[in-house]
Amino acid sequence: MCAVFCACLLAACAPAAQRPVLPLVVVLHGLGGTGDGTYSYGFDDVEGIVVAHPDGVDRSWNAGACCGGAHARGIDDVARLDALVARMVSRGGVDPDRVYAVGFSGGGMMAYAWACGSHTLAGIGVVGGARVAPCPDPGPVAVVAVHGDADAGVPIGGGVGPQSVTGFDYPSLEESLAPFRDAVRIVRPGVGHEWEPGTARLLWERLRTAVRPRRRGCRR
């Protein structure tokens, strides 16, 4: 398993001299995928970041209304991912104010759910995914959404795609992004349900400046 989930507490504040310096990117696989499979996405070739490649339960994530074993079993993946971040921060070398989630398809759906269910993240990158989780108060999280206009699995305009493996009636890209104040849409003409070469750098260039607002009571 690429990343071991462990429930551990994250200190609310840390002295300036002890604050870690590198951002963390958590890469989330799609339905049926694995953490090992996300090494091909290209984030490990990006300099100056720490990368985590976790595995979802039953090769899936509980991203809200859809899909796979994690959803069917009611797994609290937001809590599991928060625990992963807390563990990595406690080890040092990771900036808790610069944590990002990126994912493809079901992994992108989980990135949305994580941003909607926790204030851990500074930003998310979603490729070919839709938001299937409620999102009443996502906070000031940056969102970069990349979607092909020929995606037949998770259609950019919403609905059930002709090549859908889930049969789920997805919301459109615009509906998915509606709760977020800081959202960038990148529509890829003629591109289907796929992760294109160069997408990792494309996402990182747009997410790298996003920083989670510092909590009250913390001092530098």
- Class of the domain covering 20-206: alpha beta
| Model pTM above 0.85 | yes
pLDDT for 24 beyond 80 = yes
Instruction: Identify the pLDDT of residue 16.
Output: 44
C-alpha 151/C-alpha 132 separation (Å) is: 17
- As a whole number of angstroms, the distance between CA 139 and CA 15 comes to 25
* Per-residue model confidence as pLDDT tens digits over 2-21: 443 333 333 334 454 555 48
Closest CA to 121 of 16, 12, 23: 23
Residue 215 CB: number of other CB atoms within 10 A?
Answer: 11
The domain segmentation of the chain, as residue ranges, is 20-206
Q: What are phi and psi of 128, to 5 degrees?
A: 60, 35
pLDDT score, position 215: 60
